[in-house]
Amino acid sequence: MKKVNGRYELYGNPITPAQTRAADRWKAMLAKKFNYDPNDKFNLSVQDHPCGGDIFGLKEIVREGDGSPLDIENGVVISTIRMGFGHYRIAMAGVSAAKAMGFTPYWLDLLAIPGITSDVINWCNSTYSKYSRKSQRFPLFDKYVWESITTGNPSLPGLNTLFHNRTLTWPWRFIKTQVRDYKMSELFVNLYAALPSDQPILTSHMWNAMGAVAGGMTGVVNMMFDNWPMAFQLIEGTKHAVQGPAGYYGFRVLRGFGEKGGVMKPMPNNDIFFTGQHVDHELVENVEVDNAARLRRMKEKESRRFLVAMGGAGAQRELFKAIIEYAIPLIKQEKLSLFVNLGDHRDNWEWLKEELAPYQDLLSTHFTWEETRDFADSIRENPTQGLHVFLYDNTFHAVYASNYLMRVMDVMITKPSELAFYPIPKIFNARVGGHEMWGAIRGAEIGDSTVETRTIPQTLEAIDLMTHEDDLLEMYCEMIVKNKSIGLYDGAYKCVELATGRKFTRTLEGIKIG
């Protein structure tokens, strides 16, 4: 992070002296709050990942563990955090692509590393989750506050005055937010300094990328999320891997990153790359097979399979209840089968269990990864019926279960989060935060998804159409196959290529590494 004439700057674009001082105070406050020790040593070792080892041959980097000494030759580090499921999902795409390209993937989850990293991020995450839940329960707060914070487009005059000197004073789109986050991430320096400085590393959250650069790492690929440019995702010293062309332009010119709306100095073109969407190798490699299976089930009038994933905040329970109540008669008629992934959120299961009490004859539960894998494999070529609920005791399986189930589903119902970029026909329900709007626009425009359905009646209308009619499903399947053919889902491979220099090409026989 450069400081010129007493002001921090991003790609030659400075913030004000007052904002510079505020960013320094923010770092100092966190350092004091969590007893930061600049001489803290991170003794790292490697062990098999307890959940991803069997799936990907994944290794986990741990602190003060009983694993092997850190030796990651021919390896790619994938650094992530859980902040919602999206950042984990991006990291899994990197893991899958690295494995397919002949590398050993190494998982570095900042929340699994005891010390300043997990202390600071847990504290920040709890604040984010609180306001995210509030945005879904209070429409006026969502419209006039949360949308403004998450897009940098104030919809309420005097917003900054109203929240003066609080977290909400820092809309995510502006450079001052990037500087503030970077200064915070300098507290993670000692962790990343314990890794080889030239080690190829993919990062799925800006705090991972910022900490890696601050710690002296030079081979950092910043796997960008969302489709709405926000300044806090930019980190000088990384290769920015952007999923869509509109996002590429916005980041390239730092569009809207200044509070006064002026033209910014652009970032150099050798720092930013349009890679395509970050998707797991298993899903991309099997696009043709899986969509052919969807069209076969459609023609044979099998029960239409819908997958929904419920977040931890429980903020959309009203929507999920409406979907289930709408689906029950159709399940009984064998027109629809509903698959609900609750992730690792047992409190949502306690709620849902009461809602489903009258429908025990329709319900099947799958509460382990092994059950889920075996069940998904069993319906790959065979019909299925009913209402299926999935729940896990860990985040890794909670996230990956949706990825694995996608291959045997017909339609996914999701908010336009990171799942917006996955190659499966989708119904987008209402976003959580204004930045997600652009994920829905991206999916709708490349033709594998509906537009965002902002109300429950609109979501149910889309379910009705996708259950009883064939035109939308057929169109989405055809577009997914076409999108693969032009590389729109190759982002994860290209991120590994950027980090390692090992070239990736697609042939009729599959991927080729050269």
Residue 72's pLDDT band (cuts 50, 70, 90): confident
Pairing between β-strand 510-513 and β-strand 411-414 as defined by DSSP bridges: unpaired
Residue 366 falls in which region: left (phi positive, over 0), alpha (psi -120 to 50) or beta: beta
Short-list 287, 281, 185, CA closest to 234: 185
Beta strands per DSSP E along 232-386? 239-242, 272-274, 304-309, 336-341, 363-366
Short-list 224, 417, 227, CA closest to 313: 417
Query: Residues 146-166: what's their mean pLDDT?
Result: 47
Token readout for 440 is 């829905």
- Cα 221 to chain centroid distance, Å, stands at 16
Phi then psi for 2, rounded to 5 degrees?
-85, 145
What does the alpha-carbon distance between residue 402 and residue 279 come to, in Å, rounded to a whole number?
A: 13
Q: Which long-range contacts (CB under 8 A, 24 or more apart) does 48-55 make?
A: 49/107, 49/396, 50/394, 51/369, 51/394, 51/396, 51/397, 51/400, 52/92, 52/95, 52/107, 52/396, 52/400, 55/400
- Dmax (CA) for the chain in angstroms is 71
Pairing between β-strand 411-414 and β-strand 363-366 as defined by DSSP bridges: unpaired
What does the alpha-carbon distance between residue 288 and residue 510 come to, in Å, rounded to a whole number?
A: 12
Fill in the DSSP letter of residue 490.
-
Range of lowest pLDDT (150-159, 184-193, 378-387, 472-481): 150-159
Residues contacting 43, CB < 8 A, separation 6+: 63, 64, 194
pLDDT, tens digit, for every residue of 428-446?
999 887 788 999 999 999 9
Token readout for 292 is 């052919």
Residue 159's pLDDT band (cuts 50, 70, 90): very low
Residue 132 has pLDDT above 70, yes or no: no
pTM: 0.91
3-state SS, residue 483: helix
Token readout for 207 is 């705090």
Predicted local confidence at residue 166, as pLDDT: 43
Residue 225 has pLDDT above 90, yes or no: yes
Phi then psi for 129, rounded to 5 degrees?
-60, -40
Pairing between β-strand 7-10 and β-strand 13-14 as defined by DSSP bridges: antiparallel
Token readout for 267 is 């970032």
pLDDT, tens digit, for every residue of 446-460?
999 999 999 999 999
Q: Are 502 and 102 in contact (CB under 8 A)?
A: yes
Q: Are 215 and 193 in contact (CB under 8 A)?
A: yes
Token readout for 477 is 């399947």
Residue 276's pLDDT band (cuts 50, 70, 90): very high
pLDDT, tens digit, for every residue of 3-43?
999 999 999 999 999 999 999 999 999 999 999 999 999 99
Predicted local confidence at residue 1, as pLDDT: 83
Q: Are 449 and 309 in contact (CB under 8 A)?
A: no
Q: Which CATH class is domain 282-485?
A: alpha beta
3-state SS, residue 229: coil
Beta strands per DSSP E along 183-295? 201-203, 220-223, 239-242, 272-274
Predicted local confidence at residue 422, as pLDDT: 98
pLDDT, tens digit, for every residue of 360-396?
999 999 999 999 999 999 999 999 999 999 999 999 9
CB atoms within 10 A of CB 346: 13
């291959």: which residue's tokens?
407
Residues contacting 380, CB < 8 A, separation 6+: 293, 407, 408
Domains of the chain, by residue range, sit at: 1-279+489-514, 282-485
Token readout for 354 is 């009461």
For 31-45, b/e burial (b = at least 16 CB within 10 A) is: beebebeeeeebebb
Residues contacting 110, CB < 8 A, separation 6+: 79, 80, 81, 117, 118, 121, 188, 191, 207, 208, 211
